[in-house]
Amino acid sequence: MKIEVYDSTLREGAQRSGVVFSDYEKLKIITCLDSLGTSYIETGFFCAADAEALSALAEKARTERSVLSALCATVRPGTRACDDPVLRSLAASRYPAAAVVGKASASQVSEVLGTTPEENLRMIGDTVSFLKKSGKTVFFDAEHFFDGWKENSEYALASVTAARAAGADAVVLCDTNGGSLPRDVGEVTEKVCLALPGTAVGIHCHNDIGMADASTVAAVCGGASHVQLTVMGIGERCGNADLTTVVPVLQLKLGHSCIPDDGMKHITEIARKICHTANLGFDECAPFVGEFAFSHKAGMHIDALLKQSDSFEHIDPSLVGNRRTLVVSELAGKAAVREMLVRFGYEVEKDDPVIGRVQRLLRSSEAAGMQFDSAEASLRLIAGRAMGDLSVPFAAVDYKLIFSAGETPERSWSAVVRFDTPEESRVSAGEGDGPVNALDVAAHSVLDPLFPGIENVKMLDIKARIDSYDSMASASIVRVFVESGCAGKVWHTMGASTDIIAASWMALCDAYEYYLNYVRGK
C-alpha cells in the first residue's frame, strides 16, 4: 500500500524547547526532506503573525519530489472563511497544500472554543471547502480525536465526516496529548476507515507515553494511509512519531511504499544533517539511523555476526544508509578503522600497520574532545595525515582578537592572524561582525593570494555545543561545528577546546585545509 509521508519537522519540530530555525536553515531542511522523497513538507503554522514570512518561504523553496504545505486553524466561531484575512492569504499563496486543524472533541469545543458542537462542524466544513475551492490539496487534522472518541465517538466521527463532505483529501486522527495506547489507536483507526469507506485516513501521534511510533504503525495496520511524522521525533514536550523509525518499519518490515529506495538509502545522512541544523545532539542509540544501531562488541556477538549477519542485525545497514561498526576489542577497533579508510578510498590490508596509526590519532583526538559524527571533513583530514598523503600548504601559527565597544555593533571585532608557509610567514588583519567572522576575514586576506580559488570558500553556518553535566560548564569542552561551501560542494569541520574561539579557529582552519586537499581541482 502507498503511504503518504507528511513531514512536520519545521512546524512541530520548531515547537521543541530550544529549537529555532532561521530562514536559511528552513530551506536546508526542505532540501533534505525533498531529497528523501517525503510526500509533503509542512513548513509552519499559517497565522496572522507568520503569514507573510511563510508566504515568502514558499516563494523561495524549490522542491522536486515533495509538496509544500502549511498548517492553519479553522475559521473562528461566527465568522466565514471567505472573510478571514489569514485564510484568504493562505488561499492566494504558493502553497499547493494545507492542513486545517479543528476540534474533534465535544468537551474541547465547549470549554476551549466556547461554541456549540454544530457551529464547530460548520467551521470545519467552511474552512476546508474554502481552501479546496482555491485549488489546494487539503487535509483535516482532527485535534484530540482519540480523547474525543472516548467521550463521544459519534461527535468525533461527525467532525471528520464534515471535513470529508467539504472535500478534504484526507482526515487525520490526532493523538494530541500523546496518551493513547497503540492497541486503542489501531482499533479506532480501523473503525473510522470502515465508517468512511473510500476516505484516506491519516494518523498524527505525540510521544508523551513513549508510544508514538508504535501507535502510528498500529494505525497503518488499521487502515491509515497517511502518516504525519518528524525527523528523529523532534517536537513539543516528548516529541512526535519519528520518521526515521516509522518509515523504515513500514517500508522494510511491512512492505508498504513510503519513500523512494534512494531516499531510504540516505535517511541516516539526512537525519544527521537535520539534527545538526537544529543544533541538537544526535541520538546514537536511535533505531536504524544511530551509530550504535549496528554497532557490535567483541566476543561471541562478533563471531556469530561474521558467520551469519542476521544473528544480530535485523536488516542490512546499507538499506538505510548506515553501516556496521565493530567496537571495544583491539581486533574490532582495527576492523572499524579499516572500514573507514576503505570508505575514503584507500586500499588497506587487515594487518596494515597504518591502521594502528590511524587508531592512535583518532583516540588522541577524541580524548581532546573531538566528535566526528557531524564533521566528516575533519575525520577525512585525520585519515589523510595518518596515510601521509595530505598536503600541508600552511600552518596556522597564531591569532589575536580585539573588541571595540561603541554605539553600534557593526564591525566591532578585529582579528590579526599569522600563517606560515614553506616559503614565508604572513600576518594580516580583518574586521567582522563577530569574533569568528573577523578571524575568517583575516584568514582569507592571507590565504586568498596564495591559493587561487580559496576566496570562494564561504562559511555557511556555525554551531557550538557544550556536552557537560558539570556545574562548572564554562570550563567544559566546547565543540564548534562549521559548515563551509564552494562551487556547490558543502563540507563540515569541527574543533574542540575549553575556549570557544580556539575551537572555532580549529574548525575554520580544517575547512580551508580540506578545500585545498579534497575540493580544489576535484
Q: CATH number for the domain including 506?
A: 3.30.160.270
User: 192-219: per-residue pLDDT in tens?
Assistant: 999 999 999 999 999 999 999 999 999 9
Distance separating alpha carbons of residues 160 and 227, to the nearest angstrom? 16
Closest CA to 334 of 309, 353, 311, 321: 353
- Residue at 240 is within a domain: yes
pLDDT over 80 (residue 409): no
Distance separating alpha carbons of residues 375 and 382, to the nearest angstrom? 11
- Residue at 282 is within a domain: no
Helices (H), ranges, 7-152:
23-36, 51-60, 85-92, 106-108, 117-133, 145-151
**Mean pLDDT, the chain, whole residue set:** 90
Closest CA to 401 of 416, 386, 412: 416
Domain boundary among 221, 247, 277: 277
Closest CA to 148 of 184, 114, 197: 184
Residue 402 and residue 295 share a domain = no
Tell me the three-class secondary structure of 479-495, residue by residue.
EEEEEEEECCEEEEEEE
User: 478-492: per-residue pLDDT in tens?
Assistant: 999 999 998 778 899
Q: Give 142's DSSP letter.
A: E
Contact 375, 494 (CB under 8 A): yes
| First CA to last CA distance, the chain | 43
Residue 108 and residue 16 share a domain = yes
The grid coordinates of residue 273 equal 544533517
What's the whole-number mean pLDDT along residues 181-193?
98
Closest CA to 312 of 330, 331, 329, 299: 299
Closest CA to 268 of 36, 13, 30, 7: 36
Can you say how many angstroms the Cα of residue 352 is from the centroid of all Cα atoms in its chain? 38
Residue 399 and residue 488 share a domain = yes
The grid coordinates of residue 376 equal 566528516
pLDDT over 80 (residue 187): yes
Helices 23-36, 51-60: inter-axial angle, 10-degree rounding: 50
Residue 237 and residue 177 share a domain = yes
The reported pLDDT for the residue numbered 314 is 86
pLDDT over 70 (residue 369): yes
Q: 126-135, 317-326, 456-465: which has the highest mean pLDDT?
A: 126-135
Q: Taking the CA atoms of the chain, what radius of gyration do you get in angstroms?
A: 26
- Pairwise pLDDT comparison (394 vs 151), residue with the higher score: 151
Domain boundary among 214, 247, 277: 277
- Residue at 286 is within a domain: no
**Number of helices (H), then strands (E), in the chain:** 18, 16
Confidence of residue 301 (pLDDT cuts 50, 70, 90): low
- Residue at 497 is within a domain: yes
Give every strand in the sheet of 413-420, ordered side by side.
395-403, 413-420, 425-432
Domain boundary among 238, 255, 277: 277
The reported pLDDT for the residue numbered 175 is 98
Residue 487 and residue 363 share a domain = no
| CB atoms inside a 10 Å sphere around CB 82 | 13
Lowest mean pLDDT among 106-115, 136-145, 419-428: 419-428
Contact 248, 268 (CB under 8 A): no
Distance separating alpha carbons of residues 388 and 372, to the nearest angstrom? 20
Residue 172 and residue 23 share a domain = yes
| DSSP of 72-85 | EEPPPTT--GGG-H
Q: What is the largest CA-CA distance in the chain?
A: 83
Q: Give 228's DSSP letter.
A: E
Residue 466, helix vs strand vs coil: strand
The partner residues of 172 in beta bridges, in order of sequence, read 141, 202
- Residue at 283 is within a domain: no
Q: Which residue's C-alpha cell is 539511523?
A: 289
- Pairwise pLDDT comparison (455 vs 350), residue with the higher score: 455
User: 310-365: per-residue pLDDT in tens?
Assistant: 666 789 999 999 877 654 334 446 766 887 788 888 988 888 888 888 888 888 88
CATH number (domain holding residue 328):
4.10.430.20
| CB atoms inside a 10 Å sphere around CB 210 | 10
Residue 333 and residue 266 share a domain = no
- Residue at 187 is within a domain: yes
The reported pLDDT for the residue numbered 467 is 66
CATH number (domain holding residue 75):
3.20.20.70
Domain range for residue 362? 291-369
Distance separating alpha carbons of residues 221 and 217, to the nearest angstrom? 6
Residue 323 and residue 260 share a domain = no
Residue 500 and residue 470 share a domain = yes
Percent of the chain with pLDDT over 90: 70
- Residue at 515 is within a domain: yes
Distance separating alpha carbons of residues 338 and 328, to the nearest angstrom? 15
Residue 501 and residue 409 share a domain = yes
pLDDT over 60 (residue 300): no
Distance separating alpha carbons of residues 3 and 258, to the nearest angstrom? 5
- Residue at 32 is within a domain: yes
Residue 493 and residue 400 share a domain = yes
User: 237-262: per-residue pLDDT in tens?
Assistant: 999 999 999 999 999 999 999 999 99
Overall domain count for the chain = 3
Residue 170 and residue 255 share a domain = yes
